[in-house]
Amino acid sequence: MWAFFICCGLVPGAESFRASAADQPQWGQAWSRNMLSEEKGLPGSFDPKTVKDIKWTALLGTETHSTPIVAGGRIYIGINNGAPRDPKHEGDCRVLMCFDEKTGNLLWQFVVPKREEDPYFDWPKTGMFSPVTVEGDRVYLTDNRGEVVCLDARGMANGNDGPFRDEGAHSSILIRGDQLYVNTATGVDNTHKRVRAPNAPSLVVIDKRTGNLVARDDEHIAPDIFHCTWSSPSLGEVNGRPLIFFAGGNGILYAFEAMKNPRVAPQNGLRRHDAEGAKPPHGAAEG
């Protein structure tokens, strides 16, 4: 059984120093994804057996591949359902858990059933892979059913606001302005040799307010994918131009011009989606 540990922030040689940890609302710095941390005074070690320098622990499932995300006094982490917390949700599922940062108390969980048509689409007993991206009171997640989900950071405590869903899979979502940049995780099928959807995009842009599809890449990456598309898009500025960097499943690193006006597509590989043909947000999630 996996457990999640929170350190007290003690540093060797300092008697009562507490690290001033800032929010980390996405994997890597917000909103670029720079992996260089500016934190100082982090704990040099901790001991799970003696609970030395550990503030609290929380039991998770039996498998977790997700990165903890800290934002707004809450900690989000994806796990499997190896240790069910709710008798209404038992069996093999993927779960996103939300803990109180100070106490470790479970605030809410988001449970997603496994796909059943083929185990290769949703491998048994695995947990929620993608780390969330948090902006304000909205939590964006790519789940195991190929959907981008927008959740309320307070769960059902303030009622059901009706989260939206759109296409996506394994990715840490990048936010820029009103757009979400999402890796679709397209790749080979269960033969590990054939790409069943050669026309599928690898990178899509979604309106964060509505869930509508805004744009997709026009690089035709899918036919040349080696296995799958695992990259999470990142943002950088080159000569004053904001660029979206994305590592394709074909082994090529792409730099797309960031979108300025959702009605006008950039000129270097992102194709605007026809809003008239877009499907409205669908479904609702249990809190």
- pLDDT tens-digit readout, 33-73: 998 888 888 878 888 888 888 889 888 888 888 889 999 99
Long-range contacts of 81-88 (CB under 8 A, 24+ apart): 81/111, 82/1, 82/125, 83/1, 83/59, 85/109, 86/111
More confident residue, 159 or 167: 159
> What pLDDT score does 21 carry?
65
Tell me whether residue 283 is in a domain: no
> What pLDDT score does 277 carry?
40
Distance in Å from the first CA to the final CA of the chain: 24
Identify residue 38 by its one-letter amino acid code: E
Tell me whether residue 282 is in a domain: no
> What pLDDT score does 263 carry?
59
For residue 61, what are the CA distances in angstroms to 88, 93, 101?
A: 16, 10, 19
| 236 has pLDDT over 50 | yes
Last residue of a domain, one of 129, 163, 197: 163
Distance of CA 6 to the CA centre of its chain: 21
Instruction: Say which CATH number the domain at 63 has.
Output: 2.40.128.630
- Is the domain of 11 the same as that of 149? yes
- The lowest-confidence range among 39-43, 92-96, 204-208, 272-276 is 272-276
- Is the domain of 158 the same as that of 17? yes
Best CA proximity match to 167, nearest among 187, 142, 189: 142
Last residue of a domain, one of 163, 190, 220: 163
> What pLDDT score does 276 carry?
42
> What pLDDT score does 132 carry?
95
- Is the domain of 271 the same as that of 237? yes
Q: What percent of the chain has pLDDT over 70?
A: 79
- Is the domain of 3 the same as that of 131? yes
> What pLDDT score does 12 carry?
37
- Is the domain of 27 the same as that of 95? yes
Parent domain of 95: 1-163
Best CA proximity match to 182, nearest among 157, 151, 217: 217
How many domains does the chain contain in total? 2
Tell me whether residue 222 is in a domain: yes
- Is the domain of 184 the same as that of 152? no
Radius of gyration, alpha carbons of the chain: 20
- Is the domain of 152 the same as that of 16? yes
Q: What's the chain's average pLDDT? A: 80
Q: How far apart are CA 269 and CA 224, in angstroms?
A: 16
Confidence of residue 15 (pLDDT cuts 50, 70, 90): very low
> What pLDDT score does 168 carry?
47
Tell me whether residue 259 is in a domain: yes
**Are 166 and 147 spatial neighbours (Cβ–Cβ below 8 Å)?**
yes
What 3-state DSSP class applies to 172?
coil
CA 168, 66, 232, 210 torsion-angle sign: positive
**Are 211 and 148 spatial neighbours (Cβ–Cβ below 8 Å)?**
yes
| 9 has pLDDT over 50 | no
- Is the domain of 149 the same as that of 178? no
The H-or-E segment that residue 34 falls in is none
- Is the domain of 237 the same as that of 206? yes
Best CA proximity match to 74, nearest among 101, 48, 51, 55: 101
- Is the domain of 47 the same as that of 123? yes
Best CA proximity match to 43, nearest among 73, 13, 87: 13
- Is the domain of 155 the same as that of 210? no
What is the average pLDDT across 152-162? 69
Last residue of a domain, one of 163, 189, 208: 163
Tell me whether residue 248 is in a domain: yes
- Is the domain of 157 the same as that of 178? no
